[in-house]
């Protein structure tokens, strides 16, 4: 097993499947009366969050606590970062406190990679800028495998703001490793320039992609990262790239609808669609805890062998 | 990832590759298929005697090879008493005391009968009893699942060298060994044949814990 989880692309097929299989077993823990395992007793996991997050931070915290690790939550607001401390100095502080794992979310792409060079513990990327969010991709793959029984040959359509999405990049890399075929659908302005080098197809016509999709994953329009006009109006975006009931009816019977959250109802996804039985949005959150438990266990399970 | 060990059977010595090996591992065969069959039948009868007909009994095998043994014992209990005996599996990987010393292990499967273990007599089943550390981990794992009325231990082979105050209630075969030796249990469900083999291995005492 690799020591840090920075990019979904670092995972080999065997690594990825091991994480998914481990998560499958750990999922049982959430059904028990005592939802705790003693595995990481005496280890410290630091949640280092420079950007706002609900789901991911809570999910990592729950995962670490279910494995009996001590959790230190750090958010940039109200810390020395607000006073101007650099990432490196913060990292050295954590190092001095003996963090066994650092879960980092940062607005700058590549921050987890830099951090990995400064600390002795494992670094888990919980989202860096517009780069990657590997545990989200793992929990998405886990959800697909649970709902549809396989990943090999699955056709996954990812729709929306790919340019600003770390989820899209991580998913493309991981799903490719696991044998699924990915198609990105977005307005040309919301696709990265280098998308031609990604291992996936690109389309601008959402309706044409729907009938052959096993999975449709909707992405949020990340207005907070937009410093220019990427599309004329929200209404026009929603009409061309939003998933409404009419579009959902074009999907095959078995197809599922995913969203990494937070979703904006009425923009990329209609409320009826988000609440339909085909939507896995709530499941994805529950599966996130199991996936993060698996990642922490596999990264931290064996300190002595390093 | 290449360094991962298949889950379970750690006390039985290095299990790597055993599942695919068709030929017997090197060493002396101490129990053949017939002897294993007779030992399990005797253990099943002892369980019935000691638990007043095995009415409240749940058999939980410790992966890997404890699981088929638990199912074989359950089948014998059902045969003798004429009512089904529930059997399942209990993975202890997350409760091991040597997790930090070895690469992260793949998890085995935990499968507890739906009725749960509360108020029942749980019989833990494993292939080899050696240091006793696996059983300690199993007791911890069991405590997180429920509160059985009593917990007992059944093993196919007791090879001695306990490191904890633990003993088995039911033993298929007492096998005096030296710590340099390896005891390998093969079962048709996992290895294609039934046998208990006693081999020599200088590094086994390290790897076999």
Each of the 209 residues of chain B gets a pLDDT tens digit; together they read 343 334 444 444 444 444 454 577 888 999 999 999 999 999 999 999 999 988 999 999 999 999 999 999 999 999 999 888 999 999 999 999 988 888 888 899 999 999 899 999 999 999 999 999 999 999 999 999 999 999 999 999 999 999 999 999 999 999 999 999 999 999 999 999 999 999 987 554 444 44
User: Which of B63, B101, B107 to mutate: most A Cβ within 10 Å?
Assistant: B107
| CATH number of the B33-177 domain | 3.40.50.2020
Candidate from B91, B101, B104 with C-beta closest to A1: B104
Distance from CA of A113 to the nearest CA of B (A): 21
Fold held by A135-280? Rossmann fold (3.40.50)
DSSP bridge pairs for A111: none
User: Which of A66, A297, A303, A306 to mutate: most B Cβ within 10 Å?
Assistant: A297
All CATH 3.40.50.1370 domain ranges in chain A, comma separated? 8-133+285-305, 135-280
Q: How confident is the model over A105-143, as pLDDT tens digits?
A: 999 999 999 999 999 999 999 999 999 999 999 999 999
B27 — alpha (psi -120 to 50), left (phi > 0) or beta? Answer: left
Query: Residue A249: how many CB atoms within 10 A of its CB?
Result: 8
Residues of B in contact with A305 (CB under 8 A): 3, 101-103
Q: Are A190 and A230 in contact (CB under 8 A)?
A: yes
Inter-chain touch B146–A36, beta carbons under 8 Å? no
What is the 3-class SS of chain A, one letter each residue?
CCCCECCHHHCCHHHHHHHHHHHHHHHHHHHCCCCCCCCCCCCEEEEEECCCCCHHHHHHHHHHHHCCCEEEEEECCCCHHHHCCCHHHHHHHHHHHCCCEEEEEECCCCHHHHHHCCCCCEEEEEEECCCECHHHHHHHHHHHHHHHCCCCCCEEEEECCCCCCHHHHHHHHHHHHCCCEEEEECCHHHCCHHHHHCCCEEECCHHHHHHHCCEEEECCCCHHHCCCCCCCCHHHHHHHHCECHHHHHCCCCCCEEECCCCCCECCCECHHHHCCCCECHHHHHHHHHHHHHHHHHHHHCCHHHC
Candidate from B100, B106, B145 with C-beta closest to A304: B100
User: Which of A27, A39, A300 to mutate: most B Cβ within 10 Å?
Assistant: A39
Mean pLDDT across chain A? 93
Q: Which residues of A touch B (CB under 8 A)?
A: 1, 12, 14-15, 18, 21-22, 25-26, 28, 32-34, 36-39, 67, 297-299, 301-305
Candidate from B94, B95, B100 with C-beta closest to A302: B100
Residues of A in contact with B103 (CB under 8 A): 1, 301-302, 305
Which stretches of chain B are DSSP H helices? 33-50, 66-81, 133-145, 188-191, 204-207
Among all residues of chain A, which has the CA nearest to that of B6?
A18
Inter-chain touch B101–A302, beta carbons under 8 Å? yes
Candidate from B95, B104, B107 with C-beta closest to A25: B107
User: Which of A25, A37, A291 to mutate: most B Cβ within 10 Å?
Assistant: A25
Q: Is the CATH number 3.40.50.1370 carried by domain A8-133+285-305? A: yes
Please tell me the predicted confidence (pLDDT) of residue A8.
97
Inter-chain touch B146–A18, beta carbons under 8 Å? no
Q: Which residues of B touch A (CB under 8 A)?
A: 1, 3-4, 91, 94-95, 99-110, 140, 144-146
Distance from CA of B79 to the nearest CA of A (A): 32
Among all residues of chain B, which has the CA nearest to that of A33?
B145
Q: Which residue has the higher pLDDT, A30 or A198?
A: A198
> Please, which pLDDT band fits residue A306 given cuts at 50, 70 and 90?
very low
Distance from CA of A9 to the nearest CA of B (A): 16
Residues of B in contact with A41 (CB under 8 A): none
Query: Residue B23: how many CB atoms within 10 A of its CB?
Result: 6
Q: Tokens at residue A136, please?
A: 């989200």
Residue A266 has pLDDT above 60, yes or no: yes
Q: How confident is the model over A222-255, as pLDDT tens digits?
A: 988 887 789 999 999 999 999 999 999 999 999 9
Q: Which residues lie closer than 8 Å to A66 by C-beta, 6 or more apart?
A: A29, A30, A35, A36, A37, A289, A293
State the average pLDDT over residues A37-59: 93
Among all residues of chain A, which has the CA nearest to that of B109?
A25
Name the pTM for this structure: 0.89
Residues of B in contact with A14 (CB under 8 A): 1
Inter-chain touch A37–B140, beta carbons under 8 Å? no
User: What number of C-beta contacts closer than 8 Å exist between A and B?
Assistant: 61
Please tell me the predicted confidence (pLDDT) of residue B22.
58
Inter-chain touch A297–B104, beta carbons under 8 Å? yes
Among all residues of chain B, which has the CA nearest to that of A295?
B104
For chain B, give every domain's residue range: 33-177
Q: How confident is the model over A75-104, as pLDDT tens digits?
A: 877 777 777 889 999 889 888 888 999 999
Distance from CA of B36 to the nearest CA of A (A): 31
Inter-chain touch A36–B144, beta carbons under 8 Å? yes
- Give the span between the Cα atoms of B69 and B76, in whole angstroms: 11
Query: Residue B103: how many CB atoms within 10 A of its CB?
Result: 17
Distance from CA of B21 to the nearest CA of A (A): 22
Please tell me the predicted confidence (pLDDT) of residue A44.
95
End-to-end alpha carbon distance in chain A? 11
Inter-chain touch B104–A37, beta carbons under 8 Å? no
Query: DSSP code of B111?
Result: B
Inter-chain touch A38–B140, beta carbons under 8 Å? yes
């Amino acid at each position: 097993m690799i020591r840090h989880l920075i990019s979904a692309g670092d995972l080999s097929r065997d690594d990825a499947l091991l994480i998914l299989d481990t998560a499958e077993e750990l999922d049982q823990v959430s059904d028990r009366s005592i939802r705790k395992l003693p595995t990481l007793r005496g280890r410290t996991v630091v949640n280092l969050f420079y950007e706002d997050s609900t789901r991911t931070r809570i999910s990592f915290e729950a995962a670490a606590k279910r494995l009996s690790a001590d959790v230190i939550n750090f958010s940039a607001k109200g810390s020395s970062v607000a006073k101007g401390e650099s990432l490196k100095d913060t990292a050295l502080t954590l190092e001095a406190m003996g963090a066994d794992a650092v879960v980092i979310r940062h607005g700058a792409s590549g921050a987890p990679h830099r951090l990995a060079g400064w600390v002795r513990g494992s670094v888990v990327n919980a989202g860096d800028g517009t780069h990657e969010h590997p545990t989200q991709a793992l929990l998405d793959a886990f959800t697909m495998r649970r709902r549809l029984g396989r990943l090999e040959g699955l056709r996954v359509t990812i729709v929306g703001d790919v340019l600003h999405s770390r989820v899209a990049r991580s998913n493309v890399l991981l799903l490719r490793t696991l044998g699924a075929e990915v198609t990105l659908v977005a307005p040309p302005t919301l696709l990265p320039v280098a998308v031609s080098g990604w291992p996936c197809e690109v389309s601008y016509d959402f309706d044409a992609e729907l009938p052959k999709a096993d999975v449709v994953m909707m992405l949020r329009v990340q207005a907070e990262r937009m410093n220019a006009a990427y599309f004329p109006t929200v209404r026009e975006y929603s009409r061309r790239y939003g998933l409404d009931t009419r579009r959902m009816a074009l999907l095959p019977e078995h197809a599922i609808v995913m969203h990494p959250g937070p979703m904006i109802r009425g923009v990329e996804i209609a409320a009826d669609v988000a609440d339909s039985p085909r939507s896995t949005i709530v499941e994805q959150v529950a599966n996130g805890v199991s996936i993060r438990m698996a990642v922490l266990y596999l990264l931290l399970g064996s300190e002595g062998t390093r | 990832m290449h360094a991962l060990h298949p889950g379970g059977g750690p006390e039985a010595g290095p299990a790597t590759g055993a599942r695919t090996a068709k030929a017997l591992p090197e060493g002396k065969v101490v129990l053949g298929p017939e002897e294993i069959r007779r030992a399990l039948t005797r253990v099943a009868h002892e369980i019935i005697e000691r638990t007043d007909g095995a009415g409240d009994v749940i058999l939980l095998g410790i992966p890997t090879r404890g699981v088929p043994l638990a199912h074989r014992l359950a089948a014998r209990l059902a045969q003798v008493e004429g009512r089904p005996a529930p059997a399942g599996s209990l993975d202890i990987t997350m409760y091991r005391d040597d997790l930090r010393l070895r690469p992260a292990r793949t998890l085995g499967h935990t499968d507890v009968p739906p009725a749960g273990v509360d108020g029942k007599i749980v019989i833990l089943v494993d292939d080899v009893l050696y240091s006793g550390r696996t059983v300690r981990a199993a007791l911890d794992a069991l405590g997180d699942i429920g509160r059985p009325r009593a917990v007992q231990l059944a093993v196919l082979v007791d090879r001695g060298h306990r490191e904890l105050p633990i003993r088995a209630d039911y033993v298929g075969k007492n096998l005096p060994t030296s710590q340099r030796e390896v005891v390998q249990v093969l079962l048709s469900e996992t290895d294609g044949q039934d046998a208990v083999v006693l081999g020599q291995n200088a590094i086994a005492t390290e790897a076999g814990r």
